[in-house]
Structure 1
Amino acid sequence: MKVLKFGGTSVGSSKNINNVIKILEDYSKTDLVICVVSAVGGVTDKLLLAGKQAQNKEDNYTESFNTIKDIHLNIIRELNPSNNASILDFVEGKLNELKSLLDGIYLINELSPKTSDKLVSYGEILSSYIISETMKHRGLVAELKNSQELIVTNSNFSKAEVNYNITNRNIQEYFQSASQKITILPGFISKSVTGEQTTLGRGGSDFTAAILAAALKVEQLEIWTDVSGMFTTNPKLVKQAYPIDRISYQEAMELSHFGAKVLYPPTVQPVLDLNIPIHIKNTLEPESAGTIISNEETNSTNAVKGISNISNIALLTLQGSGMVGIPGFSKRLFETLSQEKINIILITQASSEHSICLGIDEAEAEKAKISIDKTFENEIALHKIDPIIVENGLSIIALVGDNMKNHQGISGKMFSTLGKNNINIRAIAQGASEKNISAVILEKDVKKALNTLHEQFFESKTKQLNVFITGVGNVGERLVEQIKQQRKYLKENLKINLRITGLSNSRTMIFNEEGIDLSTWKEQLAEGEKATLEGFFENTKALNLRNSIFVDVTANADVANLYANYLRESIGVVACNKIACSSDLENYKLLKRLSLKYNAPFLFETNVGAGLPIIDTLNNLIASGDKITSIHAVLSGSLNFVFNNFNDKTKFYDVVKQAAAEGYTEPDPRIDLSGVDVARKILILARESGVEMNLEDIQNTSFLSSSGLKSESVDDFYKTLISDESHYQNIYASAKAKDCQLKYVAQFNNGKASVGLEEIPQGHPFYNLKGKDNIVMFYTQRYPEQPMIIKGAGAGADVTASGLFADIIRIGND
């Protein structure tokens, strides 16, 4: 004998009902089948709405009734296109009764719990009749049995308590004599010992099925719904969620209490004592394995079985120095809420007894505040305690697992994971059994929290990074293409799932929470919304994705000024833009502090040397206890390219133009040629080595002509290069006469820094520096005579993009 229950979505349409009938037909070939059905999906809510409208004298209750009527009549016609007259006659008769009941509610302006139970019972009565008659019309041996004739309760309307002695006897006697292969029963509904219609409360259809399964001591109870079992977390919010194969009764009840809608906790009780397994199955995918709930030991190595949440929570805080050491405060608080029939979802109290926090349904918060303040009005007036504090817009998230108590560090891992993503915890609750660890967070953070925790506890240590890139010019485009090329490698080898979720140029911007399709990103961006720097930040913030990284591939001061905003939202910042780190010292220090405070990485390796590991090496030296004594470096790939290609057979203008065309200079070449860019770089290295200085503290000896320094635009600057060719030829001639190479050198020594063009003699490490290469020599306490040297390409779109990419990967590996 099998007991199956089908929920509202399973019988929510003619298509789904046909699936139910097929499942029952297949089961009946080998077993006697007892099938409990809910009302058609959404109908119970519509019945309650119609009743409330009628009670409030709202004439549109008739519209709600007509909607209910149309739903059922359409299902009948779709299930039974012909020969449906008898079904229609019965259903229309019941619908007329329902209309009369609603009319009565409207006339007397009252909807008592007793009348409400009678009203909502029509949902299950209609669905069960339609399904059973359709099966008979199709030649199946099926009978309808009214659950109200079997399940007997007290008169606690809307949530009646079952009289198991009478109920079990009724069920056993009926099925001992029943000969049909399939029995259809309406769920949820029952009758009191005095014959009045009652209901079993929320989740009542599950309860009906459990009562039947326990009374008949079947081997297994099957709950059929629209998902393939109980999931590791809400699959609507976490796409990586997956069904749990096996789970204990206690774990199932914990998950159900904390928002998992597949199962209603009281359902478990009738079968719990008899150790009857519950199998959660999917009506739409009957071949799926589903979830088995039982007391059997599982072989799972994962201590956490699931993550759940309850939304629309209000946190009530009763606090005051007058509570400390005074017995009775908790008793009075809980009694007050009990008298108001307010359910407490979460409780936490500090050991100091200075405060008690309660989580309740947000809809009851105002009523709770009024009643609690009234109860403690004397203590409040005497300033012994504060008026109750109510915080709305919250949610509870919970880790659930029987074996969490045997694994150290679960709660620490939970809270550190949330903290890394700037998810603030308002309250924490954990029982001594350690089957559940609960935290109260902001409602807006629920999706990020569930995804973050699921990644931590259930996924194969694959870390998802969500990247937002501003600036997709030469370097930015290369970065996007590098990410596109390496995504599969990163996922398979480094366990990093890297997605670009936002892109912007100076004109348009696009966002996609699931990741932008990188095969068509240019076309998408061309059709994007109008770009603004503030708009890009607000969109990134609003998406609120875990492990978010903002990548600045511009040379724009306005973009750099927004770094603090990103860091305060725990959004990491990766930048090749040197402006922020070479800005005022206080701003630089602020960004560093924000990065630490909000656990948001702030990486800018490409500020110096493009893709060369210069800053990373410097930081490792400092972190290991070494001390920088001096730095000598050629830090401008563009200037090195210029002076390696400039001679008495070329023109300075042509060489600078070539450097710009090949992407070695900034869009405004004056930034490079004036030495400002190099000054910024040595400033950043000085600051990273622990010295506090500003850009104006660096001595900058420029090689440009006076007219070049005074030029007011890029075009004017290029004109000066032509007119002042002799100036630059004289510089070259001086170096050639001494058999020297021209190199733009940055130096830091004894707390002072300078930049300028120097004539480098043969034998010096800088002499043979070719093309666009950079070189840095670190003299330290450990390297006092033979410096640590880093050398390589220091400019170009590909190497700069690869440096940015490396910083992103570094965040992924942390």
Structure 2
Amino acid sequence: MNVLKFGGTSVGSAKNINKVIDILEQYSKKSKVIAVVSAIGGVTDKLLACGYNAQLKDNTYISDFNNIKDIHFNILSELIPNTPQDISDKLQTKLNNLKSLLDGIYLINELSPKTSDKLVSFGELLSSFIITEAIKSRQLKAKRKNSQELIITNSNFTKAEVNYNISYNNIQLYFKNTKETITILPGFISKSTLGEITTLGRGGSDFTAAIVAAALDVEQLEIWTDVSGMYTANPKLVKQAYPIAHLSYQEAMELSHFGAKVLYPPTIQPILDKSIPLVIKNTLKPEAKGTQITKAYTSNTLSVRGISNVDNIALLTLEGSGMVGIPGFSKRLFETLANHKINVVFITQASSEHSICFGVNAFEAELAKTVIDANFTYEISQHKINPILIENDLAIVALIGDNMKNHQGISGKMFSALGKNNINVRAIAQGASEKNISAVIAKKDVKKALNTLHEAFFEIKTKQLNVFITGVGNVGERLVEQIKQQKKYLKDTLKINLRIIGLSNSRTMVFDTDGLPLKNWKMLLKNGDPASLDGFFNQTKAFNKRNSIFVDITANKDVANLYSKYLKESIAVVACNKIACSDTFNTYNELKYLSRKYNAPFLFETNVGAGLPVIDTLNNLIASGDKITSIQAVLSGSLNFVFNNFNDTTKFHDVVKQAQQEGYTEPDPRIDLSGVDVARKILILARESGTTMELEDIANTSFLTKNNLESNTVEDFYNTLIDDEAHFQKLFTQAKDNGCKLKYVAEFNNGKASVGLKEIPQNHPFYNLEGKDNIVMFYTQRYAEQPMIIKGAGAGADVTASGLFADIIRIGND
């Protein structure tokens, strides 16, 4: 004999009910089958809403009832076209009884737990009747048996306690004599020893099936639902979650207690006593293996078997010096809660005995506070303890697994992963059995926490990076295309799943929580919402993604001013914008501090040498114990391009214009030619070397004329270059006559820095620096005579984009 239970979704439509009948038909070919069915999906909630409205004298209960009536008649007519009149009449009679009950609730203006149980019992009574008649219409032998005649309980309405001896005897006696191949039982419902209608608690249809299975000592119990078993995490929140093939009873109970909705927690107990295996199957995919739950099972490979969560938790704290060393406080506290039927889902107490922290369902928090404060009125008045403190909008996430106790470092790994993603843990609980590690966190962080932990414990080889890019112009376009090109390589080789969640330029911005499709990103951005710096930040924050990275490809001070807000949300910042790091030293230092405090990397390699590893090399030298004594560098690819292409046969204006058109200069070339850009770069290197320095401390000897420097617009600036061509030709001629080349050089030595145009002789490493290349020479205690030299392209959209890309990958490899 087989016992199968079908949940509300499985019987939620005529289409799904036909799938249920198909399954039962296949089973009935081999042996007798018992099917325990829930109410049609959503009907229990609708019944409760009807009753609530009737109690409030709200006439909408009538339209609500009519909606319930229509649902059942529509499903019946789909299952049995041209439904025989006697079947329709029987269904109508049952619905008339429901209407009479609702009218009674309306008249007496009361909905007691006893009446509520009678009301919601109609859900299973109606669905089981319709399903039975549908099975019969397909010429299968089936009979419906009212579970209220089999399962006997006490009178604890809404969650009655089963009298197993009587119930088992009833079940065994009935099925010993039954002849039908298929028996349909309504789940969830029962009767008390006094003959009153009771229910087994929400989700109690699972429990009904387990009681029947245990009474008949069947080989296996099957729970059929709308998912293919119990998952490693909630698949609606964690897309990478997958079904768990095998669990122990204890693991399944822990997961079901902590939010795995596919199984009602009390279900395990009856079958646990008899070691009856439980299989969770998918009605919509009957071929899927599902999850098998047995008494003895230990995974040799996975320490954590699943991650679960409970939402809408309130954390209550009882504390005070008067609790220390005084026995009885815990007893009084939890006895008070039990007397008022308030369920505690989480408990933790410090060894100092100064406080007890516990979690309850949020809707019970105020009642809990009221009754506890009343119980401890005297101690509160004497200031021995404080009134109960309530913290709302919380949730619990839990790691679960029998084998966790045999693996060291599980809790450390859990809290490290949460901490790195700015998920604050309010309280922790772990039993000595080490089968469950629970943490209370903000409700808004649940999705991020589940994904973070799932990545840490089930996707160890792959790390997801969620990138938000602002300033998508020339460089930004190259970066997006490089990411698009390398996406598969990153996933296959570096085990990094890089997704672009948000893009913005000066006009529009676009987001996709699952990652923008990069095949048509330009069109998506073009048709996006109006751009807003604050809006972009707020949306990035609202997504609350793990491993989030904000990439700034602007030269905008307002964007740089937002870095601190991103870092405080544990969102990493990657920037080619030099403004932040060359702002006041306090600003620079604050950003570095926030990066450490919130575990959010702040990387700005492209601030100095585009794609060259200048800052990374400098940091590695210092981290290894070396000390920088001097830096000499050509740090402007644009200026190097200009002076490599300017001679007595060209015009300075034309060369600068060419540099701008090819993307080597800033949109305003005055930033490059004035030396401000180079001064910012040497300032950043000086600061990274450990020197406290401001931008105004750097000596900047300009090669531009007064006329150039006083120009008001970019157009005016270009006009002055034409006017002052003789000045630039003179600079070139003097250098040429001295056997030198013009290079714009940055120097840092003995705590001082300077930038300016210099004549470089032939034997100097800078002399043969071609095109737009940069060069940096680090003189250190270890590289005292022969410097460490870094040389290569220092400007251009592609190399700058590759530098940003390298910083993103560096974060992924942390």
8 Å contact from structure 1 (residues 9, 41) kept in 2: yes
Q: Which residue of 1 aligns with 2:24?
A: 24
Deviation (angstroms), 1:203: 1.9
Measure the CA separation in 2 of the matches of 1:436 and 1:387. 30
Q: Which residue of 2 aligns with 1:455?
A: 455
Deviation (angstroms), 1:109: 1.7
Measure the CA separation in 2 of the matches of 1:619 and 1:257. 49
Q: Which residue of 1 aligns with 2:418?
A: 418
Deviation (angstroms), 1:84: 3.2
2:388 is the counterpart of 1:388:
yes
Deviation (angstroms), 1:296: 3.2
Q: Which residue of 1 aligns with 2:166?
A: 166
Measure the CA separation in 1 of the matches of 2:57 and 2:182. 43
Measure the CA separation in 1 of the matches of 2:534 and 2:222. 53
Deviation above 6 Å: which 4+ runs of structure 1?
none
Between 271-280 and 200-209, the greater mean CA deviation after superposition: 200-209
1:255-305 Cα shifts (integer Å, max 9, x gaps): 111111010111111000111011000111111111011123244511001
Between 367-376 and 671-680, the greater mean CA deviation after superposition: 367-376
Matches within 5 A, 1:133-152: 133-152=133-152
Q: Which residue of 2 aligns with 1:645?
A: 645
Matches within 5 A, 1:311-390: 311-390=311-390
Q: Which residue of 2 aligns with 1:433?
A: 433
Between 161-170 and 796-805, the greater mean CA deviation after superposition: 161-170
1:540-580 Cα shifts (integer Å, max 9, x gaps): 00110000000000111111111001000000000001110
8 Å contact from structure 2 (residues 77, 83) kept in 1: no
Deviation (angstroms), 1:384: 1.7
Measure the CA separation in 2 of the matches of 1:176 and 1:370. 53
Deviation (angstroms), 1:792: 0.5
- Secondary structure at the counterpart of residue 403 of structure 1: helix
- Secondary structure at the counterpart of residue 791 of structure 1: strand
Counterpart amino acid of 1:463? K
1:371-426 Cα shifts (integer Å, max 9, x gaps): 11112222222222211110000000000000001000000000000000000000
8 Å contact from structure 2 (residues 37, 128) kept in 1: yes
Counterpart amino acid of 1:79? L
Measure the CA separation in 2 of the matches of 1:396 and 1:160. 27
Counterpart amino acid of 1:710? E
8 Å contact from structure 1 (residues 317, 355) kept in 2: yes
8 Å contact from structure 1 (residues 618, 688) kept in 2: yes
Measure the CA separation in 2 of the matches of 1:169 and 1:425. 49
Q: Which residue of 2 aligns with 1:478?
A: 478
Measure the CA separation in 1 of the matches of 2:634 and 2:7. 72
8 Å contact from structure 1 (residues 774, 792) kept in 2: yes
1:648-698 Cα shifts (integer Å, max 9, x gaps): 000000000000011000000001000000000000000000000000000
Measure the CA separation in 2 of the matches of 1:387 and 1:149. 49
2:502 is the counterpart of 1:502:
yes
- Secondary structure at the counterpart of residue 312 of structure 2: strand
Deviation (angstroms), 1:198: 1.7
1:481-529 Cα shifts (integer Å, max 9, x gaps): 0000000000000000000000000011011110011111111111111
1:146-167 Cα shifts (integer Å, max 9, x gaps): 1122112222222222222221
Deviation (angstroms), 1:13: 0.6
- Secondary structure at the counterpart of residue 594 of structure 1: helix
Q: Which residue of 2 aligns with 1:533?
A: 533
5+ residue gaps, structure 2: none
Matches within 5 A, 1:569-608: 569-608=569-608
- Secondary structure at the counterpart of residue 180 of structure 1: coil
Deviation (angstroms), 1:454: 0.4
8 Å contact from structure 2 (residues 298, 403) kept in 1: no
Deviation (angstroms), 1:323: 1.5
Deviation (angstroms), 1:200: 1.5
- Secondary structure at the counterpart of residue 394 of structure 1: strand
Q: Which residue of 2 aligns with 1:739?
A: 739
Measure the CA separation in 2 of the matches of 1:341 and 1:297. 35
8 Å contact from structure 2 (residues 345, 360) kept in 1: yes
Q: Which residue of 2 aligns with 1:271?
A: 271
- Secondary structure at the counterpart of residue 405 of structure 2: helix
8 Å contact from structure 1 (residues 189, 197) kept in 2: yes
8 Å contact from structure 1 (residues 12, 41) kept in 2: yes
1:703-752 Cα shifts (integer Å, max 9, x gaps): 00110011111111000000000000000000000110100000000000
Deviation (angstroms), 1:344: 0.4
Matches within 5 A, 1:719-798: 719-798=719-798
- Secondary structure at the counterpart of residue 519 of structure 2: coil
Q: Which residue of 2 aligns with 1:223?
A: 223
1:72-121 Cα shifts (integer Å, max 9, x gaps): 01101111112332221101000001111111111122222222221111
Counterpart amino acid of 1:365? A
- Secondary structure at the counterpart of residue 765 of structure 1: coil
8 Å contact from structure 2 (residues 777, 788) kept in 1: yes
Q: Which residue of 1 aligns with 2:658?
A: 658
8 Å contact from structure 1 (residues 471, 553) kept in 2: yes
8 Å contact from structure 1 (residues 76, 84) kept in 2: no
Q: Which residue of 2 aligns with 1:106?
A: 106
Counterpart amino acid of 1:173? L
Distance 1:349 1:298, change over 3 A: closer
1:448-471 Cα shifts (integer Å, max 9, x gaps): 000000000011421000000001
Measure the CA separation in 2 of the matches of 1:766 and 1:157. 88
Counterpart amino acid of 1:629? T
Q: Which residue of 2 aligns with 1:409?
A: 409
Counterpart amino acid of 1:13? S
Measure the CA separation in 1 of the matches of 2:352 and 2:456. 33
Between 768-777 and 202-211, the greater mean CA deviation after superposition: 202-211
8 Å contact from structure 1 (residues 76, 87) kept in 2: no
2:111 is the counterpart of 1:118:
no
Counterpart amino acid of 1:203? G
Counterpart amino acid of 2:241? A
- Secondary structure at the counterpart of residue 425 of structure 1: coil
Q: Percent identity?
A: 75
Q: Which residue of 2 aligns with 1:285?
A: 285
- Secondary structure at the counterpart of residue 156 of structure 2: coil
2:262 is the counterpart of 1:262:
yes
Matches within 5 A, 1:3-42: 3-42=3-42
- Secondary structure at the counterpart of residue 439 of structure 2: strand
Measure the CA separation in 1 of the matches of 2:138 and 2:220. 28
Deviation (angstroms), 1:755: 0.5
8 Å contact from structure 2 (residues 697, 753) kept in 1: yes
8 Å contact from structure 2 (residues 10, 16) kept in 1: yes
Counterpart amino acid of 1:294? T
- Secondary structure at the counterpart of residue 399 of structure 2: strand
- Secondary structure at the counterpart of residue 519 of structure 1: helix
- Secondary structure at the counterpart of residue 693 of structure 2: coil
Between 151-160 and 265-274, the greater mean CA deviation after superposition: 151-160
8 Å contact from structure 2 (residues 148, 197) kept in 1: yes
Deviation (angstroms), 1:336: 1.6
1:26-77 Cα shifts (integer Å, max 9, x gaps): 1111121110001111111111111122222221111111111111011011
8 Å contact from structure 2 (residues 325, 353) kept in 1: yes
- Secondary structure at the counterpart of residue 469 of structure 1: strand
8 Å contact from structure 1 (residues 576, 607) kept in 2: yes
Measure the CA separation in 2 of the matches of 1:761 and 1:268. 85
Counterpart amino acid of 1:518? L
8 Å contact from structure 2 (residues 653, 721) kept in 1: yes
8 Å contact from structure 1 (residues 321, 385) kept in 2: yes
